Amino acid sequence: MNIKKTEMYTFQSEVKQLLHLMIHSLYSNKEIFLRELISNASDAIDKLRFAAISSSDLYENENDLNIQISVNKAQKTLIISDNGIGMTRQETIDNLGTIAKSGTKAFINSLKEQTNKKNELIGEFGVGFYSSFIVSDKVSVRTRFAGHDPTEGTLWESSGKGEYHVTNITKKNRGTEITLFLKKEEEEFLETWRIKNIVSKYSDHITVPVNIQNYDEEKKTYFWEQINKAKALWTLKKSSITHDEYKDFYKHLTNDQNNPLVWSHNHVEGNLEYISLLYIPEKAAWDIWNRDNKHGLKLYVKRVYIMDNSQEFLPNYLRFVRGLIDSNNLPLNVSREILQGNAITHNLKKALTKRSLNMLDKLSRDSQEKYQIFWNQFGIVLKEGPAEDHDNLKKISNLLRFACSQNNSSEQTLSLQKYVDNMIEKQEKIYYITADSYISAKNSPHLELFNKKNINVLLLSDRIDEWMMNYLIEFEGKKFQSISKEDSSIQTFSEEKKIKNTDLPKNIIEFLKKVKKHLGNQVKDVRITYRLTETPCVVLSDSNEMTTQMAKLFSAAGQSVPELKYIFEINPEHALIKKICSIQNETQFKEWITLLLEQALLSEKGSLENPHQFIARMNNLLLQ
């Protein structure tokens, strides 16, 4: 490429929006621009180190890798330079003029809606290079790609207003030098003490040395002073690392401003040699529900940075776990393709899954309060576990938490162990109900018998729950049982259990016959209930049929579902049933029975196919 002249470009519209949002929402925390620039410089050095594994001439006789910061008080400039990989002309245009990251557009849109939480959100997001415009009137970037000719350098300049200029230049040293022309009111960033302070706050643990230029008044010379620790924290002995250091490192690693809830740091020797440092965040990332959400661990091989977001080391249901893995067994030239289907990766994944689950188990024992924070943030993700990871089903089951009928709160706090420990005498199964919402589960007529008998029932109302219950078969030898399904164990608790439908008083038998005849094949069966106390009737799924919630899930996913046929159960003690029993007029009787069935269906499904017909029928009967 041989474009010598300066060219002007305009920023992508998302960049303009981001710049605008950032300048107006981050003014109280401007210092983070330095963290972002140092982080980019450190990434660039990591990339060089990695590329140089296969072609060492990229070092160009300069392999003292470091980041340098200097100030020019006269010109009010702050300069951050690195001898990392650098950028080509096209790369400056692609990387500094557009936002390539997936999900970023969605993020900007969500920011516009959430005016009150902007600061927090944008902090979590990791604002990157553009944050330099918070403190600068103008930013100029001089860069040259490692291994390229010095004449192939690039100068990128912008005042962050909407356009930028790109020019070809000669740059002797590889890497990138960023000059910030500070705004008048930002001169504090020209003070060495201020810079040192920010670097030690945010950048102590980046593995590259950060040097600042100092002036020796006596000798009248400049000298470089290293201002960060520049030691890979995870390689240090556990006992030599303080809690604060672990927390700072987490923030540096993840860009998350919140502290981690808990971490697990392990040096492992033997066949599989590795160091892992895993964290559980306190807050879910803004895009954890996004399918493209980049997750996974940072991968190092023998202390050399290889890649971010390697998803191969943890199952999907643990995608909230952050941290790093440093392997001694993997080759340095490992790629994503090699990672997939590799035996070492497979074994590491197994080991790290165990470590993550054990860390959560320990957290649940050590601090109920912290565990609850975890569960409220990530419980829904962990609920994917039973379907994804059969080998660890027992461990995962122990980590689940539920709302239940005997707790007056929608918060999910009950463990299965606690449920089983508090089962009543003769109770053989773990009972649960799934519904669209907590309120709807909590008020389901199916609960009446259980409340009367003091039997606790798990109330499940997350979308994933019905799916999860397909994979939770038993816990501690107790089977799971949906209470909206036909099941003989439920009858055991009923006082009416001995009453068979044929032993009933004659008028009731007659009544059932009439109902059956009228409803025909709209229902599977009609019978007297042993479950209800306050409700006239209810519908149940047959034991071998799909539940209502499952059917809803399938139709929401666009799948066709066979029509569900329910068992219709009637409570003969209920005043309304007694009244209907005595109705002689055939037409009126039928209207009442249809209305009862519609009521029961509405209560079970939360909706009816033809609600207008239902309302018309009810209004007619009310008028009579």
Given the rule CB under 6 A, which residues bind ligand ADP? 36, 40-41, 44, 82, 84-87, 95-96, 126, 128-129, 176
Q: DSSP assignment of 553-567, as one string? A: HHHHTT---PPP-PE
| 92 token code pair | 């400056």
Sequence-ordered strand ranges (E) for 206-294: 210-216, 221-226, 260-268, 274-281
95 binds, among ligand ADP, Mg ion, none (CB under 5 to 8 A by kind): ligand ADP
Residue number, 82 or 287, with CB nearest to ligand ADP: 82
Closest CA to 97 of 109, 85, 83, 87: 87
H helix intervals, 126-191: none
In the complex with Mg ion, the residue whose CB is nearer, 308 or 487, is 308
Residue 115 tokens read as: 């005016």
41 binds, among Mg ion, ligand ADP, none (CB under 5 to 8 A by kind): ligand ADP
174 assigned ligand-binding residue: no
CB of 176 to ligand ADP, least distance (A): 4
Residue 497: how many other CB atoms lie within 10 Å: 12
Cβ distance to Mg ion smaller for residue 128 or 385: 128
**Among ligand ADP, Mg ion, none, what binds residue 84 when CB lies within 5 to 8 Å by partner kind?**
ligand ADP
Nearer Cβ to ligand ADP (160/572): 160
Shortest approach of Mg ion to residue 292 CB, angstroms?
18
What's 226's DSSP letter?
Answer: E
Beta-carbon contacts of residue 285 (< 8 Å; ≥ 6 apart): 124, 256, 293, 320
Give, to the nearest 10 degrees, the angle between helix 104-113 and helix 13-25.
50
Residue 384 contact among ligand ADP, Mg ion, none, beta carbon within 5 to 8 Å by kind: none
Binding residue per annotation — 138?
Answer: no
List Cα–Cα distances, 372 to 150, 369, 386, 475, in angstroms. 57, 5, 20, 21
82 belongs to an annotated ligand binding site: yes
Of 467, 259, 293, 477, nearest to 374 (Cα)? 259
Select 32 or 339, whichever has its Cβ closest to Mg ion: 32
Q: Determine whether the annotation assigns residue 163 to a binding site.
A: no
Of 182 and 206, the one with the shorter C-beta distance to Mg ion is: 206
Residues 273, 265: Cα–Cα separation, whole Å:
14
110 or 451: CB nearest ligand ADP: 110
φ, ψ dihedrals at 295, nearest 5°: -135, -175
Binding partner at 541 among Mg ion, ligand ADP, none, C-beta below 5 to 8 Å by kind: none
Between strands 210-216 and 67-72, the pairing is: parallel
DSSP secondary structure letter of residue 146: T
Taking the least distance from each CB to Mg ion, the nearer of 298 and 552 is 298
Q: Which residue's C-beta sits nearest to ligand ADP?
A: 128
The neighbour count for residue 453, using CB atoms within 10 Å, is: 14
Minimum CB distance to ligand ADP, residue 44 (Å): 3
What CA–CA distance (Å, rounded) separates 167 from 183?
24
User: 44 is in the binding site of which of ligand ADP, Mg ion, none (Cβ under 5 to 8 A by kind)?
Assistant: ligand ADP
Q: Rounded to the nearest whole angstrom, what is the least distance from the CB of residue 287 to ligand ADP in the complex?
A: 14
- 410 known member of a binding site: no
Residue type, 571: N
Q: Which does 331 bind (CB under 5 to 8 A by kind): Mg ion, ligand ADP, none?
A: none
Closest separation in Å from C-beta 87 to ligand ADP:
5
Binding-site partner at residue 31 among ligand ADP, Mg ion, none, CB < 5 to 8 Å by type: none
Of the candidates 261, 240, 337, 255, which has an alpha carbon nearest to the alpha carbon of residue 298?
Answer: 255
Please report how close the Cβ of residue 82 comes to ligand ADP at its closest, in angstroms: 5
Q: 405 contacts which partner out of Mg ion, ligand ADP, none, CB within 5 to 8 A by kind?
A: none
Q: Is 177 annotated as a binding residue?
A: no
Strand order in the sheet with 474-475: 403-404, 458-460, 429-434, 478-482, 474-475
Q: Tell me if 376 is assigned to a ligand binding site.
A: no
Shorter beta-carbon distance to Mg ion: residue 96 or 472: 96
Pairing of strands 429-434, 458-460: parallel
The answer to whether the beta carbons of residues 152 and 144 sit under 8 Å apart is: yes
**Within a 10 A sphere around the Cβ of 242, how many other Cβ atoms?**
8
Q: Which residue ranges make up the site for Mg ion (CB under 5 A)?
A: 40, 128
Q: Is 469 annotated as a binding residue?
A: no
What is the nearest approach in angstroms of ligand ADP to the Cβ of residue 86?
6
Q: Give the residue ranges of the annotated binding site.
A: 36, 40, 82, 87, 95, 101-103, 176, 336
The binding site for ATP comprises 36, 40, 82, 87, 95, 101-103, 176, 336
